[in-house]
A = this chain, B = another copy of it.
Amino acid sequence: MAHLGEEEQREVLNRLARIEGQVRGLGRMVEEDKYCVDILTQISAITKALDAVGLKILDGHVHGCVRDAMVGGGKEAEAKTAELMEAVERFARMR
């Protein structure tokens, strides 16, 4: 349903595993009472990494929707374009 190929799915899962590690690292920084600006920089890095995952997911979805629109044609194409835009808006409002 998310229209990801096997390799893309594996890549996304690898990224998420790395993000999990970054969140754990953030916990250590807080425990060790690191400098505020450095903690915020680390949070920013995690947010950007999540954002890149979102873009990857969106990219797979958009390609899938365009493919479906081409196969279906007419009303199906209109529905698929609307579905595509819904995901784009969701992504845009992610931040």
Using CB atoms and an 8 Å cutoff, list the residues of chain A in contact with chain B.
Answer: 1-4, 9, 12-13, 16-17, 19-20, 23-24, 26-27, 30-31, 33-37, 39-41, 43-44, 46-47, 50-51, 53-55, 57-63, 66, 69-70, 73, 77, 80-81, 84-95
Most chain B beta carbons < 10 A, residue from A9, A36, A90, A94: A36
Closest to A46 in B: B50
Interface secondary structure of A, over-half rule: helix
Partner of A88, one of B4, B43, B88: B88
Q: How many copies does the complex hold?
A: 4
Closest-CB distance, A53 to chain B (whole angstroms) = 7
Contact present for A57 and B36 (CB under 8 Å): yes
Contacts of A66 in B (CB 8 A): 66, 69, 77, 80-81, 84
Contact present for A37 and B93 (CB under 8 Å): no
